[in-house]
Chain A
Protein backbone atom coordinates (compact mmCIF):
# COMPACT_ATOMS: atom_id res chain seq x y z
CA UNK A 1 0.00 0.00 0.00
CA UNK A 2 1.33 3.41 -0.96
CA UNK A 3 0.93 6.13 1.67
CA UNK A 4 1.81 9.74 1.02
CA UNK A 5 2.13 12.66 3.37
CA UNK A 6 1.86 16.07 1.77
CA UNK A 7 3.71 18.58 3.90
CA UNK A 8 6.75 20.81 3.85
CA UNK A 9 7.55 19.65 7.37
CA UNK A 10 9.87 16.67 7.73
CA UNK A 11 8.98 16.10 11.40
CA UNK A 12 5.31 16.02 10.44
CA UNK A 13 5.98 13.42 7.76
CA UNK A 14 8.01 11.36 10.23
CA UNK A 15 5.15 11.53 12.71
CA UNK A 16 2.61 10.32 10.18
CA UNK A 17 4.88 7.48 9.17
CA UNK A 18 5.49 6.47 12.77
CA UNK A 19 1.81 6.63 13.67
CA UNK A 20 0.86 4.45 10.73
CA UNK A 21 3.71 2.09 11.50
CA UNK A 22 2.36 1.70 14.96
CA UNK A 23 -1.18 1.07 13.67
CA UNK A 24 -0.49 -1.12 10.69
CA UNK A 25 2.93 -2.59 11.03
CA UNK A 26 5.39 -2.28 8.18
CA UNK A 27 3.14 -3.22 5.30
CA UNK A 28 3.04 0.09 3.50
CA UNK A 29 5.36 2.21 1.43
CA UNK A 30 5.64 5.71 2.81
CA UNK A 31 6.41 8.75 0.69
CA UNK A 32 6.93 12.30 1.86
CA UNK A 33 6.00 14.88 -0.78
CA UNK A 34 6.62 18.57 -0.44
CA UNK A 35 5.12 21.51 -2.34
CA UNK A 36 7.94 21.19 -4.85
CA UNK A 37 7.38 17.50 -5.54
CA UNK A 38 6.16 16.20 -8.87
CA UNK A 39 2.39 15.50 -8.57
CA UNK A 40 2.93 12.33 -10.61
CA UNK A 41 4.41 10.87 -7.43
CA UNK A 42 0.82 10.69 -6.15
CA UNK A 43 -0.05 8.07 -8.73
CA UNK A 44 -1.26 4.82 -7.21
CA UNK A 45 -1.52 6.12 -3.66
CA UNK A 46 -3.97 4.43 -1.32
CA UNK A 47 -3.83 7.01 1.41
CA UNK A 48 -2.86 10.68 1.19
CA UNK A 49 -2.44 12.66 4.39
CA UNK A 50 -2.54 16.42 3.86
CA UNK A 51 -1.10 18.71 6.50
CA UNK A 52 -3.77 21.30 7.34
CA UNK A 53 -1.17 23.60 8.80
CA UNK A 54 0.15 24.29 5.31
CA UNK A 55 -2.81 26.60 4.80
CA UNK A 56 -6.12 26.42 2.96
CA UNK A 57 -4.78 27.30 -0.47
CA UNK A 58 -2.03 24.67 -0.44
CA UNK A 59 -4.37 22.08 1.03
CA UNK A 60 -6.96 22.77 -1.67
CA UNK A 61 -4.36 22.42 -4.40
CA UNK A 62 -3.00 19.21 -2.97
CA UNK A 63 -6.43 17.68 -2.47
CA UNK A 64 -7.16 18.40 -6.13
CA UNK A 65 -3.87 16.81 -7.19
CA UNK A 66 -4.52 13.77 -5.03
CA UNK A 67 -8.05 13.31 -6.42
CA UNK A 68 -6.71 13.68 -9.94
CA UNK A 69 -3.64 11.45 -9.69
CA UNK A 70 -4.97 8.90 -7.23
CA UNK A 71 -8.77 8.82 -7.56
CA UNK A 72 -9.00 5.66 -5.47
CA UNK A 73 -7.03 7.11 -2.61
CA UNK A 74 -8.47 8.08 0.73
CA UNK A 75 -7.51 11.70 1.21
CA UNK A 76 -7.43 12.91 4.80
CA UNK A 77 -6.58 16.20 6.39
CA UNK A 78 -4.45 16.15 9.50
CA UNK A 79 -5.13 18.82 12.06
CA UNK A 80 -4.45 19.10 15.75
CA UNK A 81 -7.74 20.82 16.48
CA UNK A 82 -11.20 19.76 15.50
CA UNK A 83 -12.26 23.41 15.52
CA UNK A 84 -10.29 23.92 12.30
CA UNK A 85 -13.18 22.20 10.55
CA UNK A 86 -15.38 25.25 11.13
CA UNK A 87 -12.97 27.58 9.39
CA UNK A 88 -12.94 25.95 5.98
CA UNK A 89 -15.99 23.65 5.86
CA UNK A 90 -15.83 23.39 2.06
CA UNK A 91 -12.27 22.16 2.19
CA UNK A 92 -13.03 19.59 4.84
CA UNK A 93 -16.04 18.41 2.83
CA UNK A 94 -13.77 17.50 -0.07
CA UNK A 95 -11.72 14.95 1.85
CA UNK A 96 -12.54 11.43 2.91
CA UNK A 97 -11.60 11.97 6.50
CA UNK A 98 -10.03 14.17 9.10
CA UNK A 99 -7.53 13.25 11.73
CA UNK A 100 -8.44 15.81 14.33
CA UNK A 101 -7.60 15.20 17.92
CA UNK A 102 -6.36 17.51 20.61
CA UNK A 103 -3.96 14.77 21.57
CA UNK A 104 -2.31 14.82 18.16
CA UNK A 105 0.29 17.31 19.18
CA UNK A 106 0.97 15.47 22.40
CA UNK A 107 1.66 12.38 20.33
CA UNK A 108 3.76 14.42 17.98
CA UNK A 109 5.97 15.63 20.75
CA UNK A 110 5.99 12.27 22.49
CA UNK A 111 7.29 10.74 19.30
CA UNK A 112 9.70 13.42 18.21
CA UNK A 113 9.60 16.24 20.71
CA UNK A 114 12.55 15.31 22.86
CA UNK A 115 15.10 14.93 20.10
CA UNK A 116 13.50 17.81 18.36
CA UNK A 117 13.89 20.01 21.42
CA UNK A 118 17.30 18.67 22.39
CA UNK A 119 19.00 19.73 19.22
CA UNK A 120 17.01 22.94 19.20
CA UNK A 121 16.60 22.90 15.48
CA UNK A 122 14.15 25.37 14.06
CA UNK A 123 14.25 25.56 10.33
CA UNK A 124 12.22 26.62 7.35
CA UNK A 125 8.54 27.16 7.80
CA UNK A 126 7.72 23.96 9.57
CA UNK A 127 4.48 24.59 11.38
CA UNK A 128 4.45 24.51 15.14
CA UNK A 129 8.19 24.02 15.18
CA UNK A 130 8.48 27.33 16.96
CA UNK A 131 7.80 25.46 20.16
CA UNK A 132 11.34 24.11 20.23
CA UNK A 133 12.70 27.66 20.14
CA UNK A 134 10.61 28.58 23.19
CA UNK A 135 11.41 25.39 25.07
CA UNK A 136 15.13 25.76 24.45
CA UNK A 137 14.99 29.44 25.46
CA UNK A 138 13.05 28.65 28.64
CA UNK A 139 15.44 25.89 29.68
CA UNK A 140 18.50 28.05 29.14
CA UNK A 141 16.99 31.07 30.87
CA UNK A 142 15.91 29.14 33.97
CA UNK A 143 19.26 27.37 34.13
CA UNK A 144 21.37 30.52 33.81
CA UNK A 145 19.25 33.05 35.65
CA UNK A 146 17.57 30.93 38.32
CA UNK A 147 19.88 27.91 38.57
CA UNK A 148 16.88 25.68 37.91
CA UNK A 149 16.76 22.70 35.59
CA UNK A 150 13.47 22.31 33.76
CA UNK A 151 12.45 18.71 33.20
CA UNK A 152 9.87 18.38 30.45
CA UNK A 153 6.73 16.61 31.65
CA UNK A 154 4.18 16.94 28.90
CA UNK A 155 3.18 18.80 25.78
CA UNK A 156 -0.38 19.40 24.72
CA UNK A 157 -2.37 21.49 22.30
CA UNK A 158 -3.60 24.77 23.69
CA UNK A 159 -7.22 25.67 23.41
CA UNK A 160 -7.93 28.90 25.23
CA UNK A 161 -7.80 27.59 28.74
CA UNK A 162 -7.12 29.51 31.94
CA UNK A 163 -3.51 30.26 32.72
CA UNK A 164 -2.51 27.37 34.96
CA UNK A 165 -0.38 29.12 37.59
CA UNK A 166 -0.95 31.58 40.42
CA UNK A 167 1.57 33.89 38.80
CA UNK A 168 1.69 34.23 35.02
CA UNK A 169 3.97 36.38 32.92
CA UNK A 170 2.45 37.10 29.52
CA UNK A 171 3.96 38.66 26.43
CA UNK A 172 2.23 39.42 23.15
CA UNK A 173 3.97 39.32 19.79
CA UNK A 174 3.52 41.21 16.56
CA UNK A 175 5.36 41.77 13.31
CA UNK A 176 5.96 38.93 10.85
CA UNK A 177 3.85 36.63 13.02
CA UNK A 178 1.23 37.22 15.69
CA UNK A 179 0.74 35.48 18.96
CA UNK A 180 1.72 35.38 22.57
CA UNK A 181 3.53 33.37 25.19
CA UNK A 182 2.99 32.88 28.90
CA UNK A 183 4.99 31.37 31.74
CA UNK A 184 2.88 30.25 34.72
CA UNK A 185 3.73 28.87 38.10
CA UNK A 186 2.63 28.70 41.74
CA UNK A 187 3.28 31.56 44.15
CA UNK A 188 5.93 29.58 46.04
CA UNK A 189 7.77 28.75 42.88
CA UNK A 190 7.50 32.33 41.62
CA UNK A 191 9.16 33.54 44.82
CA UNK A 192 11.86 30.90 44.45
CA UNK A 193 12.44 31.96 40.85
CA UNK A 194 12.78 35.60 41.89
CA UNK A 195 15.17 34.62 44.69
CA UNK A 196 17.22 32.57 42.27
CA UNK A 197 17.49 35.51 39.90
CA UNK A 198 18.63 38.17 42.36
CA UNK A 199 20.53 35.85 44.66
CA UNK A 200 18.77 36.98 47.80
CA UNK A 201 15.36 37.15 49.43
CA UNK A 202 12.68 39.05 47.57
CA UNK A 203 10.65 41.24 49.82
CA UNK A 204 7.55 42.16 47.91
CA UNK A 205 5.04 41.05 45.36
CA UNK A 206 6.38 43.80 43.09
CA UNK A 207 9.80 42.15 43.18
CA UNK A 208 8.30 38.84 42.11
CA UNK A 209 6.34 40.49 39.33
CA UNK A 210 9.38 42.36 38.09
CA UNK A 211 11.48 39.18 38.13
CA UNK A 212 8.89 37.21 36.18
CA UNK A 213 8.51 40.03 33.69
CA UNK A 214 12.24 40.07 33.08
CA UNK A 215 12.32 36.30 32.87
CA UNK A 216 9.73 36.15 30.09
CA UNK A 217 11.44 39.05 28.37
CA UNK A 218 14.67 37.06 28.23
CA UNK A 219 12.93 33.87 27.08
CA UNK A 220 11.09 35.74 24.34
CA UNK A 221 14.26 37.51 23.24
CA UNK A 222 16.09 34.22 22.74
CA UNK A 223 13.17 32.58 20.97
CA UNK A 224 12.91 35.61 18.71
CA UNK A 225 16.58 35.35 17.79
CA UNK A 226 16.21 31.62 17.08
CA UNK A 227 13.27 32.29 14.78
CA UNK A 228 14.83 35.17 12.88
CA UNK A 229 15.00 33.26 9.59
CA UNK A 230 11.53 31.73 9.84
CA UNK A 231 8.00 33.03 9.20
CA UNK A 232 7.51 32.94 12.98
CA UNK A 233 9.88 35.83 13.62
CA UNK A 234 8.16 38.41 15.82
CA UNK A 235 8.63 41.64 17.66
CA UNK A 236 8.16 41.63 21.39
CA UNK A 237 6.13 43.91 23.62
CA UNK A 238 6.31 44.86 27.27
CA UNK A 239 5.65 41.90 29.56
CA UNK A 240 2.60 41.73 31.76
CA UNK A 241 2.40 39.75 34.99
CA UNK A 242 -1.00 38.62 36.21
CA UNK A 243 -2.06 36.65 39.28
CA UNK A 244 -4.94 34.33 40.09
CA UNK A 245 -7.30 32.47 37.81
CA UNK A 246 -7.24 34.45 34.60
CA UNK A 247 -7.71 33.42 31.02
CA UNK A 248 -4.74 33.49 28.72
CA UNK A 249 -4.73 35.69 25.66
CA UNK A 250 -7.24 34.54 23.10
CA UNK A 251 -6.29 31.59 20.93
CA UNK A 252 -6.92 32.25 17.28
CA UNK A 253 -7.82 29.70 14.63
CA UNK A 254 -4.63 29.97 12.63
CA UNK A 255 -1.59 28.05 13.72
CA UNK A 256 -1.38 25.82 16.74
CA UNK A 257 -0.99 26.79 20.36
CA UNK A 258 1.05 24.56 22.62
CA UNK A 259 1.32 24.13 26.35
CA UNK A 260 4.48 22.59 27.77
CA UNK A 261 4.65 21.51 31.40
CA UNK A 262 8.04 21.40 33.08
CA UNK A 263 9.00 19.78 36.33
CA UNK A 264 11.13 21.70 38.81
CA UNK A 265 11.84 19.61 41.89
CA UNK A 266 8.32 18.20 41.92
CA UNK A 267 6.66 21.52 41.10
CA UNK A 268 5.33 22.63 37.75
CA UNK A 269 6.11 25.51 35.44
CA UNK A 270 3.96 25.92 32.36
CA UNK A 271 5.11 27.47 29.13
CA UNK A 272 2.33 28.31 26.72
CA UNK A 273 2.81 29.77 23.28
CA UNK A 274 0.65 30.42 20.27
CA UNK A 275 2.14 31.82 17.11
CA UNK A 276 0.79 32.12 13.59
CA UNK A 277 2.95 33.37 10.78
CA UNK A 278 2.28 35.75 7.94
CA UNK A 279 -0.99 37.04 9.27
CA UNK A 280 -0.04 40.66 9.63
CA UNK A 281 2.70 41.38 7.12
CA UNK A 282 5.11 44.08 8.14
Chain B
Protein backbone atom coordinates (compact mmCIF):
# COMPACT_ATOMS: atom_id res chain seq x y z
CA UNK B 1 0.00 0.00 0.00
CA UNK B 2 1.50 3.40 -0.97
CA UNK B 3 2.46 5.81 1.79
CA UNK B 4 -0.34 8.04 2.93
CA UNK B 5 -0.28 11.80 3.16
CA UNK B 6 0.51 12.57 6.76
CA UNK B 7 -2.51 14.79 7.02
CA UNK B 8 -4.68 11.67 6.79
CA UNK B 9 -8.37 11.73 6.07
CA UNK B 10 -10.18 11.25 2.81
CA UNK B 11 -8.14 13.43 0.52
CA UNK B 12 -8.08 13.79 -3.22
CA UNK B 13 -5.33 11.24 -3.50
CA UNK B 14 -7.40 8.61 -1.80
CA UNK B 15 -10.41 9.37 -3.94
CA UNK B 16 -8.32 9.03 -7.07
CA UNK B 17 -6.89 5.79 -5.77
CA UNK B 18 -10.34 4.37 -5.21
CA UNK B 19 -11.58 5.52 -8.58
CA UNK B 20 -8.55 3.93 -10.17
CA UNK B 21 -9.31 0.69 -8.38
CA UNK B 22 -12.87 0.72 -9.59
CA UNK B 23 -11.62 1.61 -13.06
CA UNK B 24 -9.33 -1.40 -12.96
CA UNK B 25 -12.41 -3.56 -12.96
CA UNK B 26 -11.63 -5.01 -9.56
CA UNK B 27 -14.84 -6.03 -7.84
CA UNK B 28 -15.60 -3.66 -5.04
CA UNK B 29 -16.44 -6.38 -2.59
CA UNK B 30 -13.14 -8.06 -3.31
CA UNK B 31 -10.95 -5.00 -2.84
CA UNK B 32 -8.73 -4.86 0.17
CA UNK B 33 -6.39 -2.38 1.72
CA UNK B 34 -8.78 0.04 3.32
CA UNK B 35 -8.31 0.79 6.97
CA UNK B 36 -11.74 1.01 8.57
CA UNK B 37 -12.61 2.41 11.99
CA UNK B 38 -15.65 0.73 13.57
CA UNK B 39 -17.16 2.63 16.48
CA UNK B 40 -19.89 1.06 18.61
CA UNK B 41 -20.30 0.56 22.34
CA UNK B 42 -21.42 -3.00 21.67
CA UNK B 43 -18.55 -5.38 20.99
CA UNK B 44 -21.11 -7.69 19.40
CA UNK B 45 -22.10 -5.08 16.85
CA UNK B 46 -18.46 -4.28 16.11
CA UNK B 47 -17.85 -7.99 15.47
CA UNK B 48 -20.91 -8.20 13.21
CA UNK B 49 -19.81 -5.21 11.12
CA UNK B 50 -16.21 -6.37 10.93
CA UNK B 51 -17.25 -9.89 9.92
CA UNK B 52 -19.35 -8.50 7.09
CA UNK B 53 -16.58 -6.18 5.92
CA UNK B 54 -14.08 -9.04 6.12
CA UNK B 55 -16.37 -11.11 3.91
CA UNK B 56 -16.19 -8.23 1.44
CA UNK B 57 -12.44 -8.35 1.30
CA UNK B 58 -11.42 -5.83 3.92
CA UNK B 59 -9.05 -6.86 6.64
CA UNK B 60 -7.63 -3.81 8.38
CA UNK B 61 -9.81 -2.64 11.25
CA UNK B 62 -9.58 -0.41 14.26
CA UNK B 63 -12.24 -0.51 16.95
CA UNK B 64 -13.54 2.09 19.36
CA UNK B 65 -16.30 1.90 21.97
CA UNK B 66 -17.52 5.50 21.71
CA UNK B 67 -17.01 8.75 19.85
CA UNK B 68 -14.34 9.95 22.24
CA UNK B 69 -12.26 6.85 21.69
CA UNK B 70 -13.05 7.12 17.99
CA UNK B 71 -11.54 10.61 17.84
CA UNK B 72 -8.42 9.36 19.59
CA UNK B 73 -8.10 6.53 17.09
CA UNK B 74 -8.53 8.93 14.18
CA UNK B 75 -5.73 11.08 15.54
CA UNK B 76 -3.52 8.04 16.17
CA UNK B 77 -4.23 6.51 12.76
CA UNK B 78 -4.38 9.23 10.13
CA UNK B 79 -4.50 6.58 7.44
CA UNK B 80 -8.04 5.51 8.33
CA UNK B 81 -10.03 5.36 5.08
CA UNK B 82 -13.56 5.00 6.33
CA UNK B 83 -15.63 5.08 9.53
CA UNK B 84 -18.65 3.04 10.56
CA UNK B 85 -20.20 4.51 13.69
CA UNK B 86 -23.15 3.83 15.94
CA UNK B 87 -25.38 6.73 17.05
CA UNK B 88 -26.28 5.98 20.70
CA UNK B 89 -23.07 5.62 22.67
CA UNK B 90 -21.83 6.82 26.06
CA UNK B 91 -19.31 9.67 26.46
CA UNK B 92 -19.65 10.94 22.90
CA UNK B 93 -22.52 9.82 20.71
CA UNK B 94 -22.25 9.14 17.00
CA UNK B 95 -23.77 12.42 15.91
CA UNK B 96 -21.34 14.45 18.02
CA UNK B 97 -18.51 12.24 16.81
CA UNK B 98 -19.53 12.90 13.21
CA UNK B 99 -19.74 16.63 13.86
CA UNK B 100 -16.24 16.55 15.38
CA UNK B 101 -14.94 14.68 12.36
CA UNK B 102 -16.38 17.26 10.02
CA UNK B 103 -14.84 20.04 12.09
CA UNK B 104 -11.43 18.45 11.81
CA UNK B 105 -9.61 19.90 8.83
CA UNK B 106 -7.91 16.62 7.93
CA UNK B 107 -11.07 14.59 8.00
CA UNK B 108 -13.69 16.83 6.46
CA UNK B 109 -14.24 14.42 3.60
CA UNK B 110 -13.58 11.14 5.39
CA UNK B 111 -16.43 8.76 4.48
CA UNK B 112 -18.60 8.11 7.53
CA UNK B 113 -21.43 5.59 7.67
CA UNK B 114 -23.91 5.83 10.52
CA UNK B 115 -25.03 2.37 11.67
CA UNK B 116 -27.84 2.85 14.11
CA UNK B 117 -31.20 1.86 15.50
CA UNK B 118 -32.35 5.47 15.05
CA UNK B 119 -34.64 4.71 12.14
CA UNK B 120 -36.87 7.78 12.12
CA UNK B 121 -36.64 10.00 9.08
CA UNK B 122 -35.81 13.00 11.24
CA UNK B 123 -32.74 11.22 12.55
CA UNK B 124 -31.60 10.18 9.10
CA UNK B 125 -31.92 13.78 7.98
CA UNK B 126 -30.01 14.97 11.06
CA UNK B 127 -27.19 12.54 10.35
CA UNK B 128 -26.97 13.50 6.68
CA UNK B 129 -27.00 17.18 7.63
CA UNK B 130 -24.20 16.54 10.09
CA UNK B 131 -22.19 15.05 7.25
CA UNK B 132 -22.87 11.32 7.19
CA UNK B 133 -22.13 9.84 3.79
CA UNK B 134 -24.49 6.94 4.26
CA UNK B 135 -26.89 5.50 6.80
CA UNK B 136 -27.59 1.91 7.82
CA UNK B 137 -30.49 1.03 10.09
CA UNK B 138 -30.15 -1.93 12.46
CA UNK B 139 -30.96 -4.74 12.00
CA UNK B 140 -29.20 -5.05 8.68
CA UNK B 141 -28.18 -7.88 6.40
CA UNK B 142 -24.67 -8.31 4.98
CA UNK B 143 -26.16 -7.41 1.59
CA UNK B 144 -27.26 -4.02 2.88
CA UNK B 145 -23.79 -3.22 4.21
CA UNK B 146 -22.23 -4.30 0.93
CA UNK B 147 -24.70 -2.22 -1.05
CA UNK B 148 -24.08 0.90 1.07
CA UNK B 149 -20.35 0.39 0.81
CA UNK B 150 -20.57 0.14 -2.96
CA UNK B 151 -22.75 3.27 -3.13
CA UNK B 152 -20.19 5.12 -1.09
CA UNK B 153 -17.24 4.03 -3.14
CA UNK B 154 -18.99 4.71 -6.43
CA UNK B 155 -19.86 8.17 -5.16
CA UNK B 156 -16.21 8.78 -4.40
Contacts and interface: CB of A to CB of B under 8 A. Distances in A.
Contacts of A225: 118-120
B120 A238 contact: no
Contacts of A220: 117
The 6 closest A-B pairs by CB, nearest first: A221-B117, A225-B119, A144-B139, A214-B42, A211-B44, A218-B138
Given A144-B139, A220-B117, A221-B117, A207 B88 contact: no
Contacts of A145: 48, 138-139
A218 B117 contact: yes
B119 A214 contact: no
User: Which among B43, B117, B141 has the greatest number of chain A C-beta atoms within 10 A?
Assistant: B117
Contact of B88 (A140, A141, A210, A236): A236
Nearest to A144: B139
Interface in A195-215: 197-199, 207, 210-211, 213-214
Contacts of B118: 221, 225
A3 to B, nearest CB: 40
Contacts of B116: 221
A207 B43 CA distance: 8
Contacts of B119: 221-222, 224-225
A197 B120 contact: no
Contact of A199 (B43, B51, B90, B140): B51
User: Which among B51, B88, B139 has the greatest number of chain A C-beta atoms within 10 A?
Assistant: B139
B43 A210 contact: yes
Interface of A: 140-141, 144-145, 194, 197-199, 207, 210-211, 213-214, 217-218, 220-222, 224-225, 228, 236, 238
Contacts of A144: 139-141
Interface string B87-112: 01010000000000000000000000
Given A141-B139, A228-B120, 11 more contacts: A140-B139, A144-B139, A144-B141, A198-B48, A210-B44, A211-B42, A211-B44, A213-B42, A218-B138, A236-B117, A238-B90
11 contacts: A140-B139, A144-B141, A198-B44, A199-B48, A210-B44, A214-B45, A217-B88, A217-B117, A221-B116, A221-B117, A225-B119
A194 B48 CA distance: 11
B4 interface: no
Interface of B: 42-45, 47-48, 51, 88, 90, 116-120, 137-141
A197 B141 CA distance: 11
A176 to B, nearest CB: 13
A194 B42 CA distance: 12
A197 B42 CA distance: 12
A222 B120 CA distance: 9
A194 B44 contact: yes
B93 to A, nearest CB: 12
Nearest to B122: A228
Contacts of B141: 144
Nearest to A211: B44
A198 B51 contact: yes
Contacts of A140: 139
A120 B116 CA distance: 21
Contacts of A141: 139
A210 to B, nearest CB: 5
A207 B117 contact: no
Nearest to A221: B117
Contacts of B120: 224-225, 228
Nearest to B117: A221
Contacts of B45: 214
A217 B139 contact: no
B22 to A, nearest CB: 28
Nearest to A229: B120
A140 B139 CA distance: 8
A143 to B, nearest CB: 8
B88 A198 contact: no
Nearest to B139: A144
